[in-house]
Amino acid sequence: MENREEHIEERLAELEGRVRRLEQAAEHGAEEPEGAEGAEPDAEERPGGGSGAVPGGEVFWALNRLKEMADPERGAVLFTGQVPLPTGENYEWQMAAEATELLQSDWTDIASSIEALGHPVRLTLLQRVLSGVGDTAALKEDPELGTTGQLYHHLRRLTSDGWLRSAGRGRYRVPPERIVPLLTVLMAARR
């Protein structure tokens, strides 16, 4: 098992290095790899759809780069983001994993974390904290968050599942490593 985890870590480090090199090449005006331009069908034609074209760019720019780096036998999943918050903070983050490993893992291990996001008040609470209202005194005044007892119940649940972290003296924040994943989950849940 440890050997497999080492292999995954090595593969992720390799993928991150390749992404970094591709980003640097793009910044310096390097051309697209041969055959990449126009290689993907429109989102409506592609099984599974998808969207995310950058203005003036190709629709599957991230997917094309990932396919260049990933082992075609094992596949890969990547999500990344750059998030400027109303608080003035700016977060950049990415995560990649082998698709085969994800498909073979025990999904029940993460059920609690996903379930924690399944309540409208908890989602509202996370949104308020990301907007800069992380102080329990201010949160208590928000009627959408329920009674004080309900608020503390939701804060405990989100904290125990890692979506919130205590910042001391009745303040909460979304951990930086959870901001892009949270927004990715929200984006994935849209229809």
Write out pLDDT tens, residues 32-66: 333 333 333 343 334 445 555 565 667 888 888 89
Q: Answer whether 0.85 is exceeded by the pTM.
A: no
Domain coordinates in residue numbering, the chain: 2-105, 109-189
User: Which pLDDT band, with edges at 50, 70 and 90, does 16 fall under?
Assistant: confident
In 3D space, the residue among 67, 71, 24 whose CA is nearest the CA of residue 46 turns out to be 67
| Domain 109-189 indexed as CATH 2.60.120.280 | no
What is the average per-residue pLDDT within 172-178? 96
Write out pLDDT tens, residues 96-155: 999 999 999 999 999 999 999 999 999 999 999 999 999 999 999 999 999 999 999 999
Which residue pairs from 39-47 have beta carbons closer than 8 angstroms and sit at least 24 positions apart in sequence?
39/64, 40/64
